[in-house]
Structure 1
Amino acid sequence: MVSQDLNSALGARVPANAIDDDRILDAARDLMATIGIRRTTMADVARTAQVSRATLYRRYPNVQALAAAVTTREFADALGSVRTVDGDTVRESLARTVVHMTSAARSHPLLRRIVELDPEFLMPYLLHRTGRTSRAQLDAIEAGIRTGQEDGSVRDGAPRELAAVVLQAAWSSALTGPVFSESPDLLDTQLFDLLERYLRP
């Protein structure tokens, strides 16, 4: 009886395999958006997510792997929430949609915190390789370019190459735009003009 009462008071222990991964990623996101990646420890995440460190380490070997999982999820969710913005042509619609996506990334609290506190985390993805998020964005932009080429509103050229240039301009605006202007509206207007002119036949 005493042991049953004690178990009730402490709460039933949740099996490690029953813990939702989002619970861990949510905890890591909140910590990283507050104190940065470098100051976040695995112990912090385990404590915030209310899981054991053993459970956390079974899923993620270190903070870097956890940060990669968090950022991939956050920006995949942001990309998934972007809806096509109507324009007079497919080209204009594509440019407006990319601007909308860029504006959302630029103002995302986690990205802003990474830029402010842990910019080195972004270096491999900017200088050496594309991540899963960038590849998904490239796929979406490439599909829009192909549609625009079919209706004649987007200029000729290899769709993947055109998409890469568009994405490079978008990420530049998202990451370095705030250095040159404090006006998000101005940055969005300039990016739209740049993309619309670049894609015009």
Structure 2
Amino acid sequence: MTPIRHNSSDSDAVLDAVRDCVLAVGVRRTTLTDVARRAGVSRMTLYRRWPDVRTLVGDLMTREWVDVATRAIPERRPEADARGLLVEGLVAGVESFRAHPLFRKIVDVDPELLLPYVLDRRGASQIALLELLANGLKEGHADGSVRVGHPERQARALLLIVQSFTLSLRTMTDEDDADLSSAAFLTELRSILERTLTP
């Protein structure tokens, strides 16, 4: 069921409320009643727009993840080509995702919530991220800084790479060893992306 969109500020107030609930108690212990109380709306208002907490959390994740990705896109600079900006944004995005309080809470308390988007289907946030990536790749094709290829396929391959770093990096790091720290692996990610995209 697709949520009915009315006033975006009303939606933001509800999504802010569900974010506060999830950060406080996790997804499984969040109820629509709790969200309605925090948002100052009736339960029926929520039920008309979101059938359950998971749908509401899905919309929250889409809002938050797209915001993280958009903020990670560096400002255009005359000396920077499209590949450099794309790589910089992807590495910054991975770092920002991993530090995001909502992402950390879900990974720590409700990691199964992320499994469908890793194993079974693309979510709305992934679709939005693919569009951002494809646009960046096309700019790189145009200025000659990115290896020419099918932009949608290249975007999906890039998303697979950065998703694995975002979701699984902590399983491979050893912060007591500078050579195996998260910072060292982000440097490795930058190298992988540069080599993948360079013509």
Over residues 151-174 of structure 1, what are the superposed CA-to-partner deviations in whole Å (9 max), with x where a residue is unaligned?
222113211111111111111111
Return the letter of the residue paired with 1:36: G
TM-score, structure 1 normalization: 0.84
Rg larger in structure: 1
CA drift at 1:62: 0.7
SS of residue matched to 1:157? coil
SS of residue matched to 1:20? helix
Calculate percent identity across the aligned residue pairs.
Answer: 41
Equivalent residue, structure 1, for 2:186: 188
Change over 3 Å in CA distance of 1:34–1:184 after alignment to 2:
farther
Query: Which runs of structure 2 are paired with 1:26-175 in the superposition (5 Å)?
Result: 26-84=16-74, 88-175=80-167
Q: Tell me the C-alpha RMSD between the 2 structures.
A: 2.0
Where does structure 1 differ by over 4 angstroms across 4 or more consecutive aligned residues? 85-88
CA drift at 1:199: 1.0
CA drift at 1:178: 1.8
Is contact 2:82–2:140 with CA below 8 Å preserved after alignment?
yes
Change over 3 Å in CA distance of 1:166–1:47 after alignment to 2:
same
CA drift at 1:146: 1.6
Report the more deviating stretch, 82-91 or 127-136: 82-91
CA drift at 1:138: 1.0
Structure 1: 5+ residue stretches without partners: 1-16
TM-score, structure 2 normalization: 0.84
Report the more deviating stretch, 175-184 or 84-93: 84-93
**Corresponding pairs, count:** 185
Report the more deviating stretch, 179-188 or 123-132: 179-188
